[in-house]
Structure 1
């Protein structure tokens, strides 16, 4: 029978110097009770110390939960993570050179867990070439005390690849819904699976321990084997969470049946069909303009990935146009189909068609399965490189951005033209900049390369940069201005706010006037 522990007892299992894999995505499938207990144990006793923390996705609420519990000087020696934006306390330790830190692509870490479980030396992939993860640039290292190389450049049959060495996992701390007495774990109330099985196997095959937080324990033999996501042979102990606030479905929602496909699924077109007259005119702000212009690129039957920020609005625009069921939305941690959620619910989808493992989703992504990817635009330079991962002392991390943008068939970067204070309005179909943003996004050189235009050009990948006032495309010489919003002066409103002069198309056109009308209709591309 599996060992049953309290959260405090589980914390006692963690030994000094161990490498600990933490499961979860933002607040989904996060073993919050165990992580809190480990942090409290260190505060009270000074143990465990010098841990290496491994996490694929960002796990936290931007304040104090999840990995933030463990972000204490002395407790952590090293952190290897995919997304850092929601763990500010851990960021501070890295920025202050108090711990070693690595930022590796989210999909790479997911796959490294699987490869480590299989006894392989590491992962060979093209993901990360030309970005800050490339050892010729930064090698994914986050500060000056991080000296060990985790990434190497190699050549196979005349082509460049990156080799990421394996992740030795001593303890995997994961979460499920139900355990039976033999340790078999089901996840029926969890909105994601992430890489839980791979992490459990990696720890087990390294002679390590696997601890799983659950809601309940049931008698052996009562679970449907098809529902078991982590077999009991990989589980050493379970912790039944007594506090429902530490076993929320996400950090924004205690329990939403829609995130696991329960309840009556409404038709997308019944939500708001394109032929139904809208009785309330929407506010046409910058993000709405960007989303409408981006939505005009949508193609029927495409598989999509939508990032955080402005791209989230694309699904809303498509929903309002009654076409959300004409393509399939995916989210990197594993949801296929449905309507992706936002904020601290991000990662979950309402009424998904399927929920697969994060490592499996990145198999699909890395193989070129995404037809169209719409992601954020934080900084862009003259080459067309994009930075979304680091801004001075703020470490956002790359998350799945590198996997997705490097391998999707078409890429669209969506964001406001300037930041911090931008305000626009539309009058008579004309865009007016009422307050200009104080921060330029189009700068001479990005602070960190999260998207490499050079690699995209080598792959002949179509790339657009969509803002509320201008649209650019990637060309061999850099970026080229191809569209301007009605009412916008190219010199005053665009070039004046760029640190470099882009190419200007000889066929420069005005953005479609339909974008700037109260009621927006949308026709999908058929190819």
Structure 2
């Protein structure tokens, strides 16, 4: 390991390099290294044609740092391999305009492939992604017309079909830790998430590439417990020491808060309870599919606020929420507090969390939807002008036995919940229930073959997936079946003979029924 100034990066990173990052938003983001690359490129435009590979989106919500858009707007990226982009608008625009090559591949596959490609293994071979948009039978994960190379292929092993992912070899890993010791060992002492940096470093070292780590400071070897080493010094080539704290934030919301790294527990919730309205009504009904002791995958979108509802209902101790970044239990925050997770029961490396998920660690997944079609297929990645990507949606939805999809039935609808019933006061403009989805991120036929139990919860109705399509099993009190539900769908679902009406106690400011429901099992 060699400690270098940021200025020496110009001699280490080259035009056309394959660069791997291991960050989520600003967490674990080596922003000062990115700043240096941007400034070097601004001098002579020599840092271009990069292939950038990362499992999660990186973003500068605050406006005082450097992120994916900082590279994209300068033409520094030739090819992007990721799973999700939600906060990099200029990068999405470049993808729309065919200015960069881009792939959306499953997050878990990206995070775990780093240690699957070794001298004694054939690379990433998995069933994850079969019969979805990343399957070469569809788009193979290609985002636009300029993206032509196949990174995914179908193969047969022992008469079973798998996908083989062909990721490029890494030239440079750009990573972040809190400290490096004098032997080059990296510690994640102040970080909110551990990430997959170890495996990225390992894969880079295997390829005889270069591993660069941004840290806050150098400490004497032996000052920390050796069990706390996150990346051993053998895998680290260069260390740069942060000079601007804004470019080494723990999270978007805070420079550093010890509780977010597990150093103490808080005694009260750090965010307000979700306001009563459509989102809360949907989540309350969705939560009724929980069972005591469930390990829950908390998905991005509306379901990120499920933990908020569980806390308000005083049932958080009866189940264990999980976020695939490596967060287990505790208080999983949402909204503006997203990423600020307190009182965790466990914290794991990103790629090890996917091992947990792939090995039936989850009991139920709470996922969102953008479109649902007549067969029960779901699209979350591309709709309207949005090109969000699949994130970990495909990995999770193909490995868990029980899935609850949650979301509004119609975009923009205005509803009233007075008198413990639902009234549509103004109809929305875009129905999410369409004849055919634009992208298949969840394949309903494949799910039935996997014998998954699947529900769709909206503010107006609840559906269940069957081998014949969507079965309408429940409508909200006050809702007109024909006008408010069926007329807002591009297809007619199967209607249960014993169509139920949702219990009306969830349509009030205070509920309190979930604790009783879970404890009565």
Under a length normalisation based on structure 1, what TM-score does the superposition of the two structures give?
Answer: 0.93
- Aligned length, in residue pairs: 516
- Give 1:118 deviation, angstroms: 5.4
Within-5 A mapping of 1:1-150: 2-61=1-60, 65-72=66-73, 74-117=75-118, 120-150=121-151
CA contact (8 A) 1:116 1:167 kept: no
Match of 2:319 among 302, 310, 327: 327
Q: Distance in 2 between matches of 1:124 and 1:399?
A: 19
Matched, 1:503 2:482: no
1:406 alignment counterpart: 398
- Give 1:525 deviation, angstroms: 6.5
- Unaligned stretches of 5+ in structure 2? none
Within-5 A mapping of 1:306-385: 306-343=298-335, 346-385=338-377
Greater displacement, 484-493 / 156-165: 156-165
2:173 alignment counterpart: 172
**Would the alpha carbon gap of residues 288 and 398 (structure 1) be closer, same or farther in structure 2, given more than 3 Å must change?**
same
Q: Distance in 2 between matches of 1:282 and 1:143?
A: 38
CA contact (8 A) 1:20 1:53 kept: yes
Partner secondary structure for residue 155 of structure 2: strand
- Give 1:512 deviation, angstroms: 1.3
Partner secondary structure for residue 417 of structure 2: strand
CA contact (8 A) 1:287 1:310 kept: yes
Partner secondary structure for residue 504 of structure 1: strand
Q: Distance in 2 between matches of 1:477 and 1:511?
A: 24
Partner secondary structure for residue 259 of structure 2: helix
Within-5 A mapping of 1:94-493: 94-117=95-118, 120-266=121-267, 283-343=275-335, 346-419=338-411, 421-493=412-484
**Would the alpha carbon gap of residues 391 and 257 (structure 1) be closer, same or farther in structure 2, given more than 3 Å must change?**
same
- Give 1:117 deviation, angstroms: 4.8
- Give 1:206 deviation, angstroms: 0.6
Greater displacement, 329-338 / 38-47: 38-47
Q: Distance in 2 between matches of 1:398 and 1:497?
A: 26
**Would the alpha carbon gap of residues 92 and 517 (structure 1) be closer, same or farther in structure 2, given more than 3 Å must change?**
closer
Q: Distance in 2 between matches of 1:472 and 1:525?
A: 25
Partner secondary structure for residue 402 of structure 1: helix
Greater displacement, 5-14 / 233-242: 5-14
CA contact (8 A) 1:117 1:203 kept: no
The alignment's C-alpha RMSD in Å is: 2.1
Partner secondary structure for residue 404 of structure 2: strand
Q: Distance in 1 between matches of 2:508 and 2:143?
A: 45
- Unaligned stretches of 5+ in structure 1? 273-279
- Give 1:393 deviation, angstroms: 4.1
2:518 alignment counterpart: 524
CA contact (8 A) 1:300 1:326 kept: yes
Partner secondary structure for residue 302 of structure 2: coil
Q: Distance in 1 between matches of 2:193 and 2:24?
A: 8
Q: Distance in 2 between matches of 1:525 and 1:385?
A: 33
Under a length normalisation based on structure 2, what TM-score does the superposition of the two structures give?
Answer: 0.95
- Give 1:267 deviation, angstroms: 8.0
CA contact (8 A) 1:337 1:349 kept: no
Deviations 1:215-236 (A, max 9, x none): 1111233232111100111111
CA contact (8 A) 1:183 1:235 kept: yes
**Would the alpha carbon gap of residues 460 and 78 (structure 1) be closer, same or farther in structure 2, given more than 3 Å must change?**
same
Q: Distance in 1 between matches of 2:30 and 2:189?
A: 16
Deviations 1:265-309 (A, max 9, x none): 4389xx99xxxxxxx998531001101101111111111111122
